[in-house]
Amino acid sequence: MGAVSLVSLTRTLAGLALGALALSGCGSSLDESGGSGSGGARSEKVRIGLLVPLSGVYAPIGEDMKAGFELYLDQHDGKLGGREVDLVTADEGEGPQTGVPAAQKLVDQNQVTAVAGVVNSATALGLRDFFHESKKPLLIANAGADDITGARKSAYVWRTSFSNGDVSAALGPAVAKEVKGGVYLVAADYAAGKEMVAGFRKTFEAAGGKVAGEKYTPFGKTQDFQPYLSAIRESGADAVFAFYAGAEAVNFVKQYKQFGLAGKTPLYGTGFLTEGGALAAQGAAAVGVKTSLHYSTELDTPVNKEFVAAYEKAAKKPPTVYAVQGYDTAAVLDKALAGAGGDGGDALVEALGKVGSVDSPRGPWKFDADHNAEQTYYLREVETSGGTAVNAVVGELE
Contact residues for ligand PHB, defined by CB under 6 A:
119-121, 142-144, 164, 192, 245, 272
CB-nearer residue toward ligand PHB: 142 or 360: 142
CB-nearer residue toward ligand PHB: 157 or 245: 245
Decide: 336 and 352 in contact? Cβ < 8 Å: yes
Q: For 29, which DSSP code?
A: -
Nearest approach, Cβ of residue 111 and ligand PHB (Å): 28
CB-nearer residue toward ligand PHB: 195 or 346: 195
Q: For 148, which DSSP code?
A: G
Number of H helices, E strands in the chain: 13, 16
Q: How many CB atoms lie within 10 A of CB 128?
A: 19
Nearest approach, Cβ of residue 219 and ligand PHB (Å): 9
Q: For 31, which DSSP code?
A: -
The CA-CA-CA angle for residues 276, 144, 315, to 5°, reads 25
Residue 74: left if φ>0, alpha if ψ -120 to 50, beta else—which one? alpha
Query: DSSP string spanning 84-109?
Result: EEEEEEEE-TTSHHHHHHHHHHHHHT
CB-nearer residue toward ligand PHB: 54 or 338: 54
Nearest approach, Cβ of residue 178 and ligand PHB (Å): 23
Nearest approach, Cβ of residue 134 and ligand PHB (Å): 22
Nearest approach, Cβ of residue 271 and ligand PHB (Å): 8
Nearest approach, Cβ of residue 184 and ligand PHB (Å): 20
Closest CA to 255 of 332, 202, 307, 186: 186
CB-nearer residue toward ligand PHB: 144 or 345: 144
The distance between the two most distant Cα atoms of the chain, rounded to a whole number of Å, is 88
CB-nearer residue toward ligand PHB: 8 or 223: 223
Q: Measured between alpha carbons, how far is 194 from 181 in angstroms, rounded to an integer?
A: 22
